[in-house]
Amino acid sequence: MEKGMLVLGLVAVMVVGVVVVVESSVEGEEVSYDGRSLIINGQRKLLFSASIHYPRSTPEMWGSLIGKAKEGGIDVIQTYVFWNLHEPEKGQYDFSGRADIVRFIKEIQAHGLYASLRIGPFIEAEWNYGGLPFWLHDVPGIVYRCDSEPFKVHMQNFTTKIVNMMKSENLYASQGGPIILSQIENEYEMVEHAFHEKGPPYVRWAAQMAVALQTGVPWMMCKQYDAPDPVINTCNGMKCGVSFPGPNSPNKPWLWTENWTTWYRAYGKEPETRSAQDIAFQVALFVARNGTFVNYYMYHGGTNFGRTTSAFTTTSYYDDAPLDEYGFIRLPKLGHLKQLHEVIKSCSNPILFGTQFTLSLGQQQMGYIYKRNSGECAAFLVNQDDTKSVTVIFHNSSYELGPSSVSILPDCKNVVFNTAKVNVKNNTRLITTGKKFNESEMWQEFKDIIPTFADTSMRSKTLLEHMNTTKDMSDYLWYTFSYQHESSNSKAVLSVRSAGHVLHAFVNGALIGSGNGNHEKVNFTLDNTITLNNGSNNISLLSVTVGLPDSGAFLERKALGLRRVRIHDIQNSKDLSNHRWGYQVGLLGEKLQIYLDHSSSNVQWRNFTSSNNPLTWYKIRFDALIKNESFGLNLGSMRKGEVWINGQSIGRYWASFLTSQGSPYQTWYHVPMSFLKPKDNLLVILEEQNGSPLGISLDIISTI
């Protein structure tokens, strides 16, 4: 509870009358703001927003997702803009398919909703490299996200391109389009101190650069308390109802850009979720304290297709959101929040136009009252004690407030909604076995080549950093060397220290061990007893990334891959870190793109064997199941790798990484209907370890 709220009696807060107008030279709806709310076409607005990221679903899903959000009482769809998706190579842009942001914004408009565009262009978002394209890494003299001219040039170029694209399609509200808000940067306050004197000038520059683009709508910065005027500073987090101190000017509205509806899943991080009651409590408290814009992050999380996840993040993203990964309504979460929206909207007149009073009702209890001169009145009775119910007296009547709850009284008399009381039935995901791929005759396999030092053309006398070597063109980097062993004793110990993420070690072509870090501890050491030939031995170490880091200061300095390699035998211990190394980026199957139908014949596929060799590609052809269903590929029998259907990657899998309860972090992997053909679908799997494809099935996902 904030300072000033514990004083008994009524405290009145008058509506701030200063209006900030964002200039626009084209006709459309004027978007401005004052200390109470955003103002659209002269009308104050109380808005509920939903984060739905266009590349984490398919264009065929967008309309349904947006429609379901609207049914849930949502007014605004919010999305990040994904720089490395749109400009994977410098100056080469992609706005097709899942990257068709214009189509997505127009879909929002077609449903009669507003849009909030978080350009960033650094976004974090559990997205590979925080949305930054890796080619930035090789720009001379660049330092990301600070007063660095090389970074600012490229950031401004991309931001301007996106703004101009939106303008050319008349998508800003000032042009008659749906976009009412834009965001520049993202949670910069969390790293600003690391840049010392280079931080504050960058904040000022970013704000000035954005405003100068003249979108005709306000700009915001999340988690940036010193956001320069007229940029609005906003709150991110689970508890902004309690923690947000308010905007840095009385003339700015209270905006909540990320109300986390659950926790994203990451390997090594124990799975957590968040109840509908807790979300509703924080939303109601935020509105009670003066909030008039709340965005749910995520409302639909979706799927991290391909290699788009950040380090150690699962392919499924925010599956426990109000709309699950497959786009189904999740109850009671969506239903409870829908009821909350309806009740708060019924109080919108006193909230937006009345005077706010606060009333202390106890040590951890507070009343927030909004009242108009006309007599309209709405009250929020808050109990922040999470251990017990409390009876309070308000307007000469008694009200029982449950633990961590807000009771909403649209007429200051009758409780219409309590955040802790859920009146919506639960639903459950139903998984029905569809098509089994359990016959060995159905499968073919190709064992990828394990390169030796002699096979490589890239050489160095030191251990190269993984990301800077692969340039994010592949997860895989081979470190190879030839080791001369002169001893009658064939036993030795191979010790490899890695900065992450995964390592598969081969000696003379045989897998001798694997190791990995996790989300909480990236570094690890692999120590394995090995058998060496007397004479020359081929050591091939496969370093694997599971997404690139997405956060932190000086992201361009982060390092992955092998840091030290030693071999200990009975005679001595040799540090081979400065040995002569040979490198190969990627696997042969990747280079030949054998996951594509037209490239599949580039290698000699063989009939399936039961040997379950590491680094093996498997393929199978199948006909689709019933149309208009949602499908999940059950990969519980596999261990780690990546999957393609008809040439489109549905993401990385890691079924062998278990939670503390002994369960995989993810077993079913979303297969969008649009990825499938009626007949002759090609499923290709790259298995790094020794999983068996005979346990795979394409299952039907529904809810009951």
| H or E element at residue 650 | strand 648-653
Q: Strands (DSSP E) along 88-218, which ranges?
A: 114-120, 179-184
Residue in 475, 40, 107 with CA at minimum distance from that of residue 293: 40
SS3 track for 582-635? EEEECCHHHHCCCCCHHHHHHCCCEECCCCCCCCEEEEEEECCCCCCCEEEEEC
SS3 state of residue 110: helix
- The residues, any chain, with a CB within 8 Å of residue 75's CB and separated by 6 or more, are 45, 47, 48, 49, 113, 114
SS3 193: helix
Nearest CA to 339 among 268, 425, 256?
A: 425
Tokens 């009524």, residue located:
10
**Helices and strands (H, E) in the chain, number of each type:** 11, 40
Q: DSSP 3-state helix, strand, coil percentages of the chain (rounded to 5)?
A: 20, 35, 45
Backbone dihedral angles phi then psi of residue 635, each to the nearest 5 degrees:
-110, 25
How deeply is 112 buried, as exposed, middle or buried, from its count of CB atoms within 10 A (0-12, 13-18, 19+)? Answer: exposed
Q: How many residues does the chain have?
A: 704
Angle between helices 149-168 and 101-110 (to 10 degrees): 40
- The CA R_g of the chain, rounded to the nearest whole Å, is 28
| Chain-centroid distance, C-alpha 181 | 20
Catalytic site residue 258?
yes
Chain centroid to Cα 445, Å, comes to 34
- Strand segments (E) across 453-554: 458-460, 476-485, 491-498, 502-507, 510-516, 524-531, 535-544
**How far is Cα 160 from Cα 113, in angstroms, rounded to an integer?**
24
Edge-to-edge strands of the sheet including 697-703? 429-436, 697-703, 630-634, 668-671
187 classed as catalytic:
yes
Nearest to 403 by CA among 362, 369, 370, 368: 362
Q: Which residues pair with 479 in a beta bridge?
A: 541, 583
Residue type, position 121, single letter: P
CA 642, 643, 649: angle at the middle one, nearest 5? Answer: 100
| Count of other CB atoms within 10 angstroms of residue 212 | 10
Q: Which residues pair with 151 in a beta bridge?
A: none
**Side-chain half-sphere of 293: how many Cα atoms within 13 Å?**
35
In angstroms, the CA 522 to CA 501 distance is 6
Per DSSP, helices labelled H in 416-506 are: 466-470
Q: Whole-angstrom Cα distance, residue 212 to residue 210?
A: 5
Please tell me which residue in 258, 445, 687, 688 is annotated as part of the active site: 258
Question: In one letter, which amino acid is 240?
Answer: C
The token duo for 9 is 């009696």
Among 29, 87, 124, 187, the one annotated catalytic: 187
Return phi, psi of residue 231, to 5°. Answer: -65, 135
**DSSP string spanning 31-72?**
EEE-SS-EEETTEEE-EEEEEE-GGGS-HHHHHHHHHHHHHT
Task: Indicate which residues carry an active-site annotation.
Answer: 187, 258
